[in-house]
Structure 1
Amino acid sequence: MATLNDIYQQLINQISDDYDKTEGYLISDMMRSVSIVFADLYTKQEEIESLLDVDKLSGDQLTKFVLQRRGIKRNEATYAVGQVSVTGNGAVNIGDLFEVANGIQFRATETKTITDNGIVNIECVTAGSVGNVPANQIRQMPVTLSGITAVTNPVATHDGYEAETDNILRTRYYESLQQTATSGNVSHYKAWAKSISGVGSVKVFPVDNGVQGGIAEVDIVIIDQDKLPASTTLVSEVQEYIDPNSEGLGYGQAPIGAKCYVYAATTKTLDITLSITKSSEYTDAQVLQNITDSITSYIEGIAFQTTYVSEAKIGSAILDSAGVEDYSNLLINGQSGNVTVGEREVPFLGDVAIV
């Protein structure tokens, strides 16, 4: 980047030494004024050039860039959904609020009369993963509902996903450039599935069930943003977008004559046992949590990317865990060695036990 002084010096160098170019004299002052204007123009030029480089863009600028050039929309954050069990005799109306102890609120998405007890569908007021709360956490009503005495959520709420990050959006942009998505090819099905908020990764199995009567069948297997098997709701949303009811009639994105079936990946659970030598600065519980977090990070990074889980890399993840000085007797699902992951499976960390 040319600085003001650089520009000034270039201008001065272009003037004959027959003239007095000493600072404080007319020639110097004139060139200093011109260099100020040029420096501002250089800055604006660099700003414009940066707007043409997708790797230098972020936020709204990146969103606008990829939309204008490739028609790719940033996936927005979604609102977690679930159900509450309501006790009492009264009515719950659309918009009535229920709350977790830490202040996360949910609103009713239906109106229902409650006699003794009833189930009401809810949606988090705040978009994102903050709305994914465990079972039996929604117990409060910030505004009293006449006749309603208690509320709880029997199961965890789900499908609250964060907005697509800049890095993931940029990756989808590059995929659209490098993998030609056209005419219902594999790349096209991947792009369609990834355009749904919450979808983390996709595998496509073309003509998996053969061609019958001129109708091709395509299986799509998805995992969610958290690298876990997609929920029923997310699977249904992708199915509806690509090929409603798997009829192959062309009412979704898939071409006429191509029946698409969307599935969630199945779980390959990994139960791990090991012995460790730990630092005295950490408690057993802290070390166990650090090991769990480290292995989980590795597993998430290979989801839908490899056909096996590496024992060596799990060992490396363990050694990288704060508080671990060494380990031994590492077993995955009761055995030593790598663990094979099926093409429709995603690894999931089960129990981690230090023995």
Structure 2
Amino acid sequence: MDELLQQLLDNISDAYDKSAGYIVYDLLKAFAIVMSDYDSEFERLKTLYDVDKLTGALLATYVYQRKGIERNPATHAIGTLLVTGSGTINKGDLFETDSGIQFQATETKVISGSGTVAIAAVLAGEIGNVGANQITQMPVTLSGITSVTNPAPTYDGFAAESDDSLRERYYLAVRTPATSGNVNHYKQWATSVAGVGGVKVYPLSRGDNTVTLVIIDQNKQPASAALVAAVQDYIDPNSEGLGYGQAPIGAFCYVESAVALSINVSVTISKDSNYTDAQVHDLVVRALTDYLKSIAFESNYVSYAAVGNVIYNCEGVLDYSNLKINNTTNNVSIGDKQVAVLGGVTIA
């Protein structure tokens, strides 16, 4: 406010008394007080035109209005329930874990002795990804059904798309225009499917008028069969090239998951005495997982130096030695259709 007041005073002739307490000064000060509030509002409004400064609903609105791109919603984890007994499981019947995470049947099925039923989490997001044999409760008794469990973990429960991911897709659309089924078009189609975290496009991979897409999920892991199927169905159902998906007629698209390249790390660590061995192990695992996510589909190798730096900068780590990645002290190459995922971490 003081700076604005001084600018106003400087623009008034010295023929007038501009001292504090005189009418010119008092009028301009009142005006400056009001305008200083507007000035702050103007600065705030300017940020609405900078996509890098927008977040949440404002970012989603900005991106949708300019490019028609919508934020990918959270998805419901899916899985299979092993049911024991004789009776009918109806679509919508509820099951849950001991901690109360609920799932519902997504199909109606008659069970005789035992059988399997497809399920989906009631709540969307990562909360629905539970371990094997965790879904064992029936909140409402189902006639003839004696027990349930999930032999395998549930999967594909993803959080709503992050601001960074949405902003990245916006820039992809702005900087690499998608037209007539070009490479950029396939990238945009694939990443618009909820749960997809990256895609590589291989034109003419199986001959003329073909394209192969290799995808990873939102967590930078190999995509599940269900996610692959969702992308396939969206772009070119059954790879028939009939134009029933986003791909144009005559374009045969084949969607695959990236293949996991397991990265096993062994290292000797000098740890801070304020941390337990288990805490340091968990922190190192988390940091290495984040590093591998950051290079997924971005780098063709796992850097030995970068892994060492990640470990060294972990909380609880004072120093390290004897680092090996997949039993070597070299960079580890990542194949063209591979994604590096953390395997075992051994700390001595």
The one-letter amino acid of 1:245's match is N
Inter-partner Cα distance in structure 2 for 1:330 and 1:167: 32
Task: Pick the aligned partner of 1:250 from 230, 243, 248.
Answer: 243
Distance 1:121 1:76 in 2: 22
Separation of aligned partners in 1, 2:253 and 2:281 = 43
Aligned length in residues: 348
Query: Structure 2 matches for 1:78-93, cutoff 5 A?
Result: 78-93=75-90
The counterpart of 1:222, out of the listed 215, 225, 232, is 215
Match of 1:145 in 2: 142
Q: Deviations over 1:183-242 (max 9, x none)?
A: 21211111111111111111111112222xxxx111100000111000001101111111
Show structure 1 runs of 4+ deviating over 6 A: none
| Partners of 1:93 and 1:112 within 8 A in 2 | yes
Query: 1:164-179 to 2 correspondence within 5 Å?
Result: 164-179=161-176
Q: Check if 1:310 corresponds to 2:303.
A: yes
Pairwise CA distance, 1:159: 0.8
Q: Report the Cα offset of residue 175 of structure 1.
A: 1.5
TM-score normalised over the length of structure 1: 0.91
In structure 2, the partner of 1:237 is 230
**Alpha-carbon shift at residue 301 of structure 1 (Å):** 1.2
What secondary structure does 2:172 align onto? helix
Matched residue of 1:99: which SS? strand
Question: Equivalents in 1 of 2:328, 2:44: separation in Å?
Answer: 57
Q: Aligned letter for 1:226?
A: N
Q: What is the deviation of 1:20?
A: 4.0
Structure 2 segments unaligned to the other structure (5+ residues): none
Moved more, 272-281 or 124-133: 272-281
Number of the residue aligned with 1:51? 48
Match of 1:334 in 2: 327
Matched with 1:122 is 119
1:164, CA displacement in angstroms? 0.8
Q: 1:265 aligns with which of 258, 261, 265?
A: 258
1:252 maps to amino acid: G
Answer yes or no: is 1:13 the counterpart of 2:10.
yes
Kept in 2: contact 1:265–1:346 (CA 8 A): yes
Preserved contact between residue 294 and residue 320 of structure 1 (Cα < 8 Å): no
Distance in 1, Cα, partners of 2:16 & 2:29: 15
Amino acid across the alignment from 1:281 = N
- C-alpha contact (below 8 Å) 1:269/1:347 kept by paired residues: yes
- Structure 1's unaligned 5+ residue stretches are none
Comparing 176-185 and 9-18, the one that deviates more: 9-18
2:347 counterpart of 1:350: no
Q: Cα distance 1:275–1:16, how it changes in 2: closer, same or farther (>3 A)?
A: closer
**Counterpart code for 2:276:** T
Partner of 1:301: 294
Distance in 2 separating the partners of 1:28 and 1:338: 70
**1:185 correspondence with 2:218:** no
262-271 or 25-34: bigger deviation: 25-34
1:276 maps onto 2:269 in alignment: yes
Task: State the distance in 1 between where 2:318 and 2:221 align.
Answer: 30
Stretch deviating more after TM superposition (170-179 or 266-275): 266-275
Contact 1:193 1:238 (C-alpha < 8 Å) held by counterparts:
yes
- Cα 1:256–1:5 change in 2 (3 A) is same
User: What is the identity percentage for the equivalent residue pairs of Structure 1 and Structure 2?
Assistant: 53
Alignment RMSD: 2.0
